[in-house]
Chain A
Amino acid sequence: MNEPRLAILVAAALLVPAPRELAAQIVSKLEAGQYSVSDGSLPASVLRLAPTFQYQTPYATIKARGSAYLSDQALQLADGIVSGTFTSPTVYGVRAEMIGNASRAMDDRSLGTDQVDVQTRVHLLYHQRAGMWFGGGVARPWRVAVVSSADVTDLGMWAKVGDAARALGVATFTATFTNFSFTKVASVHDSGSASLSCAGLAIAPQADVAPARALFSEAAPGSSACERQSRFGDLEGSVHWDLGMIELTAQTGRRFGDSYDVTADSRRWSAAKATVWLSDRIAIVAGGGRQPALPLRGLPARSYGMAGLELAYWPLAKSSVPVSLPHSPLVRSFEYHAAATGMQRITIRVGGVETVEIMGDFSDWTPLTLVRRGRDQWELSIPVAAGMHQINVRVDGGPWMAPPNMPTMKDSFNGEVGLMVVGAAKS
């Protein structure tokens, strides 16, 4: 696919209207620890820092993530990615999502590989306990053996089992199939000796000389005989088990494609990670496994291991963010406190969930999404006038319920509402 088409998609993403509700908050994380890889791209064992910053509103998330390592007393960039996600409101269990990423990987210290990709997905949700999605998009890499935009299509499904309030916690099972289709320059790294098709071209024998990707890329226009249409598909399964203070993630995958497109060391992979939360903001993380080659990122297959600390920071809002407009057994507590003049800070504790929303007469019964402030803490500061207010809460798009630990009454529509008193005496 050519550049204009990509530009159209990027432009379409930019044209998506800004969300009306601005419950924007910033979340940051820093993972620091020892990191070991097998492919020789990094020193065998390095101190790695991986910061993440996230700016989140109810319908959009902008995230910047990177990693760097200490080598010879200097900080070397390993990779960086900026991504934006726009999500439509869920209507009858259907939600649309647009994802855009721009990334750079410095696997080879002398040459960074770049990629821009845009993807859209349609999600079908079933009571927020299960769902599936399908989608497609394009990715444009630079300075790798791939010399065209790649068409990416994916299909996935997930199911959540368990209850965060119980000892066994919540387990989320996910299965995905992602298909990649692109034009690449045949490489001597390809299984099956793709270089045979390039016989007579001087480039093939040089392909092993670093930086190989640069040679391929530069040679590509003049060596069309070496180009081939590649296609492969990744089938992946994963489970994320949230046991309160402990989170376990395991994934495994298999790559399908002919031997020209899939190297033997990328046929199968698996990895696992454990996170033990010492507090709301500090966790010990350890993991390892095998990662398949990422042709679009120019990254080879590698085995890795890591152990370190994760510092999560969900800053308390210094100035309350007004929202212009505007009993689940899972919800452990509900509190509200005066945040500033005319503002109330709502705090809900519930673990193992994706979204927490409230609505009430103070929001014209428009759902407002709370922002995650800790592993199981969700917050939102909203303007609430003095008086008695009715409020509902829901978790992961489930049924609207009265929050726990507060007076309630029946509403007129076969449900219950919480009664929140805001006044000079109770604030």
Chain B
Amino acid sequence: MVPRSLGVAALVAFAIGAAPLAAQYADPYAAALARLDANSRFAIELVMDSARTVGLSDTTLRSRVLEGVQKHASASRIVESVRRKFAFLRTARTMLGQVSNEELDAASAVLEAGAKPAQLQSFKTRQKGREALEAFTIWADLITRGVPGEEASSAITKLWQDGADDATFHSLWNNVQADISQGLNPGAALQNRIRETPQRTVTPASKPPEGQEIQSSR
């Protein structure tokens, strides 16, 4: 007589074996798309196609699909999110010009957080090799924490124009979030801390070396 436990064991062994097999979809993006209905898939592919047509990388958009599926969002929500992200990427590129995909992604995150497109304008001209990834990250966070958009924008823009480095942005964020967690109003916390941030005058050392041009995407 076959013991019942053997039957249960065989069944579960099959389940264990089958689960990883099912999970081993060659392309996670294809697997994620397969979980959406045909209309949503079509809508997403349309956005992807548009992105490629205007020369934008579709990596960020694919990632958004994967994120939505992993977080069990509805198909319509995913489609809407992908469309919004595409719009923000396109706007960011319009405002910043030809910057790296990473920076474009970060800038679109700032817009997604609630910044206005025109507020990105100041970041278009920059010293060659300088990246605004940290600045954009802190900016998006400040808005998320409740700092009014205008105040966050002017503070970050001012620091950027003063030539602040990544450490300065990070230090500002650290102080502001500590103040907010102590119960201070987010806007007031930023204003207090931005006043404490050492003013950088543009010294010869912070200017580009002789012969090195200021990178402009114009």
Contacts and interface: CB of A to CB of B under 8 A. Distances in A.
A12 B29 CA distance: 31
Nearest to A149: B3
A195 to B, nearest CB: 28
B109 interface: yes
Nearest to A361: B63
A390 B141 CA distance: 12
Nearest to A385: B102
Contacts, number: 179
A361 B113 CA distance: 18
Interface string A144-181: 00000001110000000000000000000000000001
Contacts of B86: none
A19 B101 CA distance: 32
A135 B10 CA distance: 11
A16 B10 CA distance: 12
Nearest to A15: B17
Q: How large is the interface on B (under 10, 10 to 19, 20 to 34, 35 or more residues)?
A: 35 or more
Interface string B122-151: 000000000101101110110110000000
Nearest to B135: A421
B16 A413 contact: no
A98 B12 contact: yes
A408 B173 CA distance: 11
A66 B15 CA distance: 31
Nearest to B85: A412
Contacts of B202: none
Interface string B14-26: 1111011101100
Given A364-B66, A419-B109, A409 B141 contact: yes
B5 A153 contact: yes
B168 to A, nearest CB: 11
A17 interface: yes
19 contacts: A12-B9, A17-B21, A96-B12, A119-B9, A120-B12, A136-B6, A136-B8, A138-B3, A151-B5, A364-B29, A365-B28, A385-B102, A387-B101, A407-B138, A409-B112, A410-B144, A412-B77, A421-B137, A421-B166
Interface stretch (A74-82, A85-93, A228-236, A331-339): A85-93
Given A16-B16, A425-B134, A365 B66 contact: yes
B23 to A, nearest CB: 6
Interface of A: 1, 5, 8-9, 12-13, 15-17, 19-20, 59, 86-89, 91, 96-98, 118-122, 135-138, 151-153, 181, 325-326, 359, 361, 364-367, 385-388, 390, 400, 407-413, 415-416, 419, 421, 423, 425-426
B89 to A, nearest CB: 13
Contact of B140 (A16, A137, A407): A407
B117 to A, nearest CB: 17
A16 B102 contact: no
Contact of B13 (A9, A359, A421): A9
B204 to A, nearest CB: 21
Contacts of A361: 60, 63, 66-67
B105 A426 contact: no
Contacts of A386: 102
Nearest to B130: A425
Given A12-B13, A59-B20, A365 B5 contact: no
B63 A365 contact: yes
B45 interface: no
A-B interface, 8 closest residue pairs, ranked by CB to CB distance from nearest: A136-B5, A387-B102, A407-B141, A412-B81, A120-B12, A88-B19, A12-B13, A365-B66
A144 to B, nearest CB: 19
Nearest to B7: A136
B68 A408 contact: no
A17 B18 CA distance: 9
Given A12-B17, A364-B66, A366-B28, A413 B5 contact: no
Nearest to B3: A151
Contacts of A416: 144
B53 interface: no
Contacts of B12: 96-98, 120-122, 135
Contacts of B10: 8-9, 12
Contacts of A118: 9
A181 B3 CA distance: 10
Interface centre among A152, A365, A386 (most CB of B within 10 A): A365
